[in-house]
Structure 1
Amino acid sequence: MNTDQHGSETEGGNVEFDEWAKVELFGHVTLVGRVTKAPIGDFLRIDVPKPDGTTAWTKLVNPKAVYAVTPITRDLAIALVNRHVQAPVQPYELPEAARPAAAPSTGHEFDDGQWDRDDDDEDES
């Protein structure tokens, strides 16, 4: 069973990529972490580290979105992670002071005054 420095050989003889790397994606996004093949389709799994080297979060990436992969050392990946921070998706909310005040309810979900006019027309006939 032969292996090289960039992965390990599977039972079928294929070498699986398992390497610390800087991954550049289309859309000017750069992720740094341990890159392996994800168990879903042909996706890449990028485990982005915390400063202590443990996994902070994981991102699955379609390989068609990858522009470049540069293998690097673990120590360099941990040093670069703060430079290339790409946090997971989080909801965006306005600060409390910037939120618009809620309009008072009139009992009609889409009340633009039309409901009153329609009712008045029917009563006149």
Structure 2
Amino acid sequence: MHNAFDPHEQATNLNAKIIAGLERLSTVFRAVIQQQAKANKLTPLQTQLLLFIASHREHLCTVTRLAEEFVVTKATVSDSIRVLVEKGYLTKQAKADPRTFSLGITPKGSDTISATAINSAV
């Protein structure tokens, strides 16, 4: 049985080395998200939602799609969006169907995203 996290396996198996590297990058990404969230008095999920909404087209930024993307419930996404709107990071505009809306990043949201270490590193 192969273990991608075994250093000996990584030395001889390129796939194991790639898997271990991706896991380390993921750990760093989570740590940066947590730091940025704390600095802005947001949760890590709220920070991730802001980053996602700012970089994706409107049709991908529905509650259902965001819940699928971040593997959380629609209620969790709705609550996070409500807080982001209340704190002035997002705008929410109703559409013809009252059950749907579009999300937009406010100047405060854009400034917050621009200031994140994630965007500064890119």
Q: What TM-score does the superposition give when structure 2 sets the normalisation length? A: 0.28
Larger Rg: 1
Higher strand residue share: 1
More helix by share: 2
